[in-house]
Amino acid sequence: MLMVVFTGVTALPHSMWDASAADLTLYRGWADLMVHQHSFPLHDEQWQYPPAAGALLVVPWLLGGGHAYSWFFFALVAAADATVASLLIRAARRDGGVAARTGPWIWTVGVALLGRVCYGRFDAIVAATAVLALLWTARRPMAAGAAAAAGVLLKLWPIVILLGLRRPALRRVSLAAAVVGAAATAALTAWGPGAWSFLRFQSERGLQIESTAATPLLVARLTHGGWNIAHRYGAEELIGPGVFTVARGCLAATLLGGVILLLAWWRMRPPAADLALAAVLLALTTSRVLSPQYVVWAVAVAAVCALNPHTTQRPILGLILTTALLTQVEFPFVYDRVATGSWPGVIVLALRNGLLLYATVWSVIRLWRGEKVFRWQSA
């Protein structure tokens, strides 16, 4: 698994590796600030992460700092990658079914298809907390709650894991998540100012060009013009007529999708991982921001879904892997064309987002049409 990733890391042109790992310079600067000034980057609009992310980014600095920061960061991501793979392999062996064995392969192949961006960002570490929470829900609910809390304090999205749970697991996992989350939040807030500044920066963000909602406007821009691309909040955003309305529509779509998932949870009692995958896909397709590393979220949850021989989501797994491949083509291979709104980049992005939207709709439909209550016990 790690050899596949390492081969990809050494094979790409150096300029593309620079693009994939560009955030590491930013991470190192934030870590230096947090260590020496005991403050979160409250004046940096690119700081858009919950407070535990700050603690995570400080770890490589404490281990090596300076030029060694990148290597220690890669080591942390590699450890998370290996942890997820080993957990999935163990769960697949315990189940013993042929279908379950696809779980570890979904993760391994998905990471390889996404490429270097998985190791140049910390989303794989967050994905590991989600996998831990999903696998431990039935037999280790308190540990699952702690893992979910850690994930939420790193990047919010692992909260979707709680959506598919039912009593008594819901009560015990939620209790553990609340206790661990409250304790960690209090400690991080007391550590230094700016722990919650990310909320302001996130709320002020516009429509990122890589988001699904921006795709029609980017395509229209190729022939009609009228929209500009500007660098804001660490990303390229679309500026022009209708952008504000589209951004507001993203929020409405997210809320509508949440209602549909809650109804599916009440009506069909789907497996927790199935509901989590549909929720992650909905979050990706309806968000104003869709950075390439976010796709690893779907890969991780899809790998857990694959362990269940009765999953409603099996046809979605291949779509997610194809989306991962197109995501690597989009970033870093043609990202310069995407950032300027040129037709090669826009076409690749439109294909990726179209496939992601199709996977999302089909995922929700299959979840809604589930014919029975699947009782699958996780590790």
pLDDT, tens only, 206-263: 999 999 999 999 999 998 888 999 998 888 999 999 999 999 999 999 999 999 999 9
Residues 278-312: tens digit of each pLDDT? 999 999 999 999 999 999 999 999 999 999 999 99
Q: Which residues contact 105 (CB under 8 A, 6 or more apart)?
A: none
Q: Would you say residue 366 has pLDDT above 80?
A: yes
β-strand pairing of 228-232 with 207-208? unpaired
Report the predicted TM-score, pTM, of the whole model to 2 decimal places.
Answer: 0.92
Q: pLDDT grade, residue 323 (50/70/90)?
A: very high
How much is the average pLDDT of 99-119? 93
In 10 A of CB 175, how many CB atoms? 13
CB 345 within 8 A of CB 335: yes
User: Across 226-269, where does the E strand assignment appear?
Assistant: 228-232, 235-239
For residue 117, what are the CA distances in angstroms to 46, 91, 155, 200, 295? 18, 27, 17, 26, 10
CA distance 235 to 184: 29
User: For 126-134, what is the mean pLDDT?
Assistant: 96
Residue 58 confidence (pLDDT) above 90: yes
Q: What is the pLDDT of residue 19?
A: 62
In whole angstroms, what separates CA 290 from the centre of its chain?
9
Cα separations in angstroms, 152 against 63, 70, 76, 155, 223: 24, 24, 18, 5, 41
